[in-house]
Amino acid sequence: MEVSADDEKTGSGGHAGGPDREAATGSREQDAPATKGERDRGAKIADQTSATTPEADTDGQPDEGGGSSPSADPQAESPATATATALQERTEREAEWEELARRYRADEATIDFSTQLGAVATQDEAELLTINMGPHHPATHGVLRLLTTLEGEVIRDVKPIIGYLHTGIEKTAEDKAYWKVIPVVERMDYLAYYFNAMAYCGAVEDLLGVEVPKRAQYLRVIHLELNRIMSHLVWLGTTMLDLGAISILWYAFRERETVLDLFEYSSGQRMHTRYFQIGGVVEDIPAGWATKLQRFLDEMPTRLDQYEAMLSKNEIILQRLKNVGVLDARRLQEWGVSGPLLRAAGVPWDLRKATPYSSYDDFDFKVPVGTIGDNYDRYAVRVAEMRESVKIIQQALDGLPEGPTITEDRKVALPPRHELATSMEALIHHFKLVTEGMRVPEGEAYFPIEGPRGELGCFVRSNGSSKPARVHMRDPSFVNLQAFGDMARGEYIADMIATLACLDPLLGGIDR
């Protein structure tokens, strides 16, 4: 009892205790025979092939073995050759697999699994402590797992491990009619459901060549920007919670509630609203919605002032955020990082400006950028973005044009209810759309938009049927997470948490 307790203690202390190291070596030795066994099997197969091949070659000649072999028959030549070829192919395939497995094992070897054994491996690393954060950890923003190697309180290495929230949404989408995919993709990045729907609908609209009415485009912009504010509010609340400022969470969620109420009012749902349709939006905004929205728009800037009064001048917040998690623009671009993270490093890259979609070029707004790309810039950029979003919504609301909210194309959008009673054609369209769905011409489309976390793109390939052949999302959280190791290395453990929070990863979007 005493001894085992002692060992455990040593393990937790980060000093490689004798038994622990033995365990580590033991498991590696266990790995080795398995590998050897596989190699043996491969060799056996190769032997069989080499044994068979001469037999096929020497076909027709007297059998050296002296046994009664059917291969003496010339007619059996082609099946024997076929077998040989098949075996040859199989050997090649096995070799290929072997190679893949070897590469996989090499990859796997770079992951430090020493946490499961309780101690680090070598004597040189005896001062290091490997700690497994997550997947159930209060600050990993979902089910992210961080294998963290600490030296004291300083991060020496961190390896994010994902996949705990994999839902197979992309695969599910292939089995659904085009319009039934919308609610599924909405559930990927669960704080940016309007963006997911927008990216998907945009891609399908590109394939269909459908023109979205102006009013629908404006309504989309209003909802997208509301969603952006909502997402940034959740980010603000949770990030400050990670820094220890607990009250901001409640203030941010108070405003988020207002936004969610607006969503509920316009679409009937608070989250995953399914408001965007292929070709427009599902219905016009209800009476009184504009007034409510206006009230929110009037209130939001003062709320943002309040947040900034509480945070931007707080010495502790500044000390915790400034010059922490710095990564320069070049490195960020190498990692493919986009969105507020890239803009915080001073690159004014915003898809709303670069490739305007959904009438974004009608609105006057600025792209806030930071200077050095530390956590403070990330915070400041996001808060400024909320202000810009308010401005965009205000302009869209003021200039909201009249007209239909969904395309008139009856092959894409459902006919209005009143037509069903009078028009046979409308009835047929309705029936076809509801039972089979729309048929989309063959082709591929990629539709990138500026999500709250960066470039959110949807790739759709159509094979001409009523179901997409492939739906893929380029999720910004997933791509941005790559840069996390570079940001966090050398920081304190508390700063790593802050950096992760400022990265704003959403596991629903990462794992999909």
Partner 1 sequence: MTSVLAGPLSAINYAEPWYVQIIKALLIFAIGFSLVPLVLLYERKLLGRFQGRPGPNRVGIYGSMQPLADIGKLLFKEQFKPRGAIGWLFIAAPLISMVAALATFPLIPFSGAPQEILGTKVGLYGLDSDIGLLIFFAFSAIGSYGILLGGWSSTSKYSFLGAMRGAAQLISYEAAQGLALLGVVMTTGSLSLSEIVDKQDHMGLWFLVPQIVGAFIFFVATLAEINRTPFDLLEADSELVGGFMTEYGGGRFALYYVAEYVHLVVAGAMFSTLFLGGWNIPFWNGAPGFLDPFVVLAKTLVIVSIIIWIRATLPRLRYDQLMSFGWKILLPLATLNALVTAIVLVAL
Residues in touch with partner 1 (CB under 8 A): 1, 4-5, 7-9, 11-13, 129, 131, 137-139, 150, 153, 240-247, 249-251, 254, 310, 314, 316-317, 319-320, 492-495, 497
Rounded to whole angstroms, how far apart are CA atoms 253 and 232?
A: 11
Least separation in angstroms between CB 2 and partner 1: 9
The answer to whether 53 touches 84, Cβ cutoff 8 Å, is yes
Of the CA atoms within 13 Å of residue 369, those in its CB half-sphere come to 13
Spatial distance between the Cα atoms of 214 and 467, rounded to a whole number of angstroms = 27
- Which whole-number Å values give the CA distances from 100 to 45, 91, 103, 119, 504, in the listed order? 18, 14, 5, 30, 34
Residue number, 297 or 310, with CB nearest to partner 1: 310
Nearer to partner 1, 292 or 322 (CB): 322
Torsion angle in degrees (nearest 10) through CA of 272, 274, 279, 284: -120
In the complex with partner 1, the residue whose CB is nearer, 175 or 305, is: 305
Nearest-approach distance from CB 128 to partner 1, in angstroms: 12
CB of 322 to partner 1, least distance (A): 12
Q: How far is the CB of 249 from partner 1 (least distance, A)?
A: 8
Considering the complex, state which of residue 10 and residue 269 has its C-beta at the smaller distance from partner 1: 10
Smallest separation (angstroms) from partner 1 to the CB of 127: 13
**For partner 1, which is the closer residue by CB, 253 or 446?**
253
Judged by beta carbon, residue 254 or residue 411, the one nearer partner 1 is 254
Strand order in the sheet with 145-151: 129-133, 145-151, 154-161
146: β partners: 133, 160
What's the min distance (Å) between Cβ of 6 and partner 1? Answer: 9
What are the tokens at 171?
């695969």
Task: Tell which residue, 367, 409, 10, has the closest CA to residue 209.
Answer: 409
Q: Residue 231: which of 391, 383, 11 has the closest Cα?
A: 383
501: helix, coil or strand?
A: helix
Task: Tell me whether residue 8 or residue 362 sits nearer to partner 1 (CB atom).
Answer: 8
CB atoms within 10 A of CB 49: 18
Give the CA count within 13 Å in the CB-facing half-sphere of 8.
5
CB of 121 to partner 1, least distance (A): 16
Which is closer to partner 1, CB of 446 or CB of 492?
492
Element housing 147 (H / E)? strand 145-151
Min dist CB 307 to partner 1, Å, is 13
